[in-house]
A and B are shown apart, each in its own frame.
Chain A
Amino acid sequence: MTSGGIRRSFTAWATLALALFGGVAQADPSPYQLNMERGASTWSQVPYDLNNISLGVCVVIGILVFGAMFIAMFRFRKSRGAVAEKWSHNTMLEVVWTTIPVIILIVLAYLATGGITSWSDTTGSQMTVKVTGYQWKWRYDYVDYLGKPISKVGFMSKLDTQSDQTRQLDSGMDPYAVKVGDENTYLLNVDKPLVVPVDTKIRFVITGADVIHSWWVPALGWKLDAIPGIINAAWTNITVPGTYRGQCAELCGQDHGFMPIVVVAKSKADFATWLAEQEAQSAAPAAAPAAASTAAAPAAAETAAAPATAK
């Protein structure tokens, strides 16, 4: 084995170990990833912890139950001369194995209820972004930031060209060659990502324009359906700057697998610069053709959302 081979297998094992024991720095999916990622928002720890705790509980119960089963299968085989006993009842045991699960469930339910409560609280947000699902792309409209309304910053976000060409049937192109830097971004990259600031409570209002989609970035810890005629709300507060990738998670037609989501979280200062650029661009008449194409889309989104407002 060459030293390269050793290094490579070491990296593979390291990734494996990382994935197993918490995926500390990891945000996007990695090969042989075994567990959920911890995420990068103030709330994303909740599902991660619940996942690990409930998995732990299941493993312990599993070891006990399957252990008892295997002992029984070994000890009470006819070929070892076991003679069947006659009993078929034991009140003590039955009470115990009904009560103990109930107690475990109460603990789990308590933890989960806390998680739901904090997730549902969208009050006190410092920024609002409207997310609209289309067959088969996303639209992001910036509504307000730090109490000030934002006008005309909104755009479509769809699968990047390289992935799109590669994913065609018989394209002859290699999915492994679709990269940004070191990272393989096949089917997980877009032409224009959603840019947001870190350390800001961002409220997302999510809806669908045609069929139901679901907006999911694993690093944020949740997914929420984008449903025509309904406006759903959720929030996030990203703590680490970075690029976070996700995908549409509700079957929405032929290209359901090809409408990824990319969220770029920047420092507050960088975000302010970016936002100013965008506002300037949409105000400038030079951007007219681009603006015309995006202008049609919000109109469509408005019509789709109208019944909900009428309710």
Chain B
Amino acid sequence: MSRFQAIPGIHVCLRRLGFHLSLGYLVFLLLLAICAPWIAPHSPTLQNPSHVLLPADGTYLLGTDDLGRDVFSRLVWGAPLTLYGSLLAVLVACGIGLPLGLIAGFSGGWIDAAISRGIDTMLSFPAIVLAIGVTGMLGIGQTNSMIAVGIVFSPTIARLVRGQTLIGREALYVDAARCFGASNSRLILRHILPNAIQPVIVQATLLLAMALLAEASLSFLGLGVQPPQPGWGAMLARGYHYMEIAPSQIYAPGIAILVTALSVNTLGENLRVILDPRRRR
């Protein structure tokens, strides 16, 4: 029986390690994104026809692409672009989903039925296809495509907030507050929203990872970040053509996407545990 004893310890330790590593990486990435102009050794868009597809060396840390641009600098400059796109999508998702969920959960009746049906229906579309469709209608480009992703993600938030609002509405303290004549908007703002916000934070973090992957995908498809801007997905699209000659062009951006998405997911999973009300004493 004692052979069980050591293992939960390792499990917990590894979990904590993962949390700290991902948190550290994300802070690093954020600083990198902010300081990109000072960190990147070269211009991300400057073309140099005599330095095309060079391998990595001291000047070009990750080599150059087919237009002679420094891959490392493009990777560094890609960080703020990618983060901007993903955060925009999550903000849009929350901006639409929060009010919709609150309204649905709080008003009930046919309004709730209508919103819920809409949520269900939107979730029946394959997410990326819906995002592509909306992007196609709005016009391609990073901002439009990430607004589209935000719209597509909003039902997830709305559904969550609706559920939380229903729970909150049933709660005793809301009844009590209502007895004391609190207005609906006050009830929502002071009593229901604060209780709904923690799961929303967790969900938004997990959505951020999905938005990051969506951003990369849409840019890869040419619907997001437009050339000559250095988005990670766009770099992959370009590098794919020269994969055999210059593999670093697909490895570096791909690993950047993977590690960032992994870190954000790890952060989200840990937040879920940390913010879980059942865990708190």
Co-complex (A, B):
no
User: A interface vs B, CB < 8 Å?
Assistant: none
